[in-house]
Structure 1
Amino acid sequence: MYVLENLDQLATLLREVGRDRELYVRWSLGPDADLPAGRQGRQASRDALTGVMLPGLSANPLRVEPWWGDRSLRLWVARRLYDYCHIRDLRGPGASPWIMVGEQCGRGPDNEPLVICHQPVAWVSEEALREADTVVKEQGSAEWGPLHRAD
């Protein structure tokens, strides 16, 4: 997989590929850890609270919602990355965001999409994550932050 070096590259990917196919971002050790060998078998996640196996990979859509209008695509992707940046700390060394083409197959217990990955696309670089952090913090909202329960 190639690496998206900045938010502009992610926005371009979303603009060019995301109009025809569903793109998702997943925070994990990557496709090699998440996808069964040879793409055969079951793609699954595990619910952290109960340990229940979920029928798909927990991921978040990158698709821009119609209500977003002509607002900044860069801000949209920054927010999508920032929402779950705490997962890196929870999952340990090597956990990073990666982009996939996928298909939603259900919802998890936190109402998150469960996705079947059809094609891993790209890793998201540390620089892009730093940019996302900066872009989100520049919005100046004291009421908003990552979707992290433990805080």
Structure 2
Amino acid sequence: MCTLDQLVELFEAESGRDLYVRWSKGPETDLAPGGPGPQASRDALTGMPLPGLSASPLKVEPWWDDRPLRLWLARRIYDYRHLRELRGPGVRPWVFQGTEIARGPDNEPLVECDRPLAWLTDDVLHEAQRLVDEQGSREWGPLDRSRT
């Protein structure tokens, strides 16, 4: 399990290279034979198999400049927090190092997992929400299509 502080340390130790967060039942399921394919996802709209695991990059973009890394990572985690409820029991965020092999229908990276690194704890989710809420933006929230 990983806390937000540990995630920051992990990010710094890996220089942020090729780190992704994925919301699923975990590497035991995603990397197991017999899924939609070897390290594959499915498009929720069409059911089409997608090459690679749909995931969110943790890489810090240059425009972020010298803003806090904790806030960047919190934001990346917070973006898809609704997937836990939407996808059902056992779905949690986990971090891995991987290689982008394609882009999905929503322009998300489709990634081959090279190395699972950590599960994120509920404390990380609460801390991420707290940090985002502290920004006080009424125009910003999770990327949740189920609420439209």
Q: TM-score, normalised by structure 1?
A: 0.92
The CA distance in 2 between the partners of 1:11 and 1:64, in whole Å, is: 12
Matches within 5 A, 1:2-151: 3-5=1-3, 7-19=4-16, 21-37=17-33, 42-151=38-147
Q: CA deviation at 1:18?
A: 3.3
- One-letter code aligned to 2:138: A
What residue ranges of structure 1 are gaps of 5+ in the alignment? Answer: none
Q: CA deviation at 1:117?
A: 0.2
Q: CA deviation at 1:79?
A: 0.1
> What fraction of aligned residue pairs are identical, expressed as a percent?
61
Alignment RMSD? 1.1
The CA distance in 2 between the partners of 1:48 and 1:96, in whole Å, is: 18
Q: CA deviation at 1:11?
A: 1.1
Q: CA deviation at 1:22?
A: 0.7
1:78-133: CA deviation from partner (whole Å, max 9, x where unpaired): 00000000000111111000000001001111111000000000000000110000
What residue ranges of structure 2 are gaps of 5+ in the alignment? Answer: none
Matched residues, number: 144
The CA distance in 2 between the partners of 1:148 and 1:24, in whole Å, is: 19
Q: CA deviation at 1:71?
A: 0.6
- One-letter code aligned to 1:10: L
The CA distance in 2 between the partners of 1:53 and 1:46, in whole Å, is: 4
Q: CA deviation at 1:36?
A: 2.6
The CA distance in 1 between the partners of 2:135 and 2:6, in whole Å, is: 21
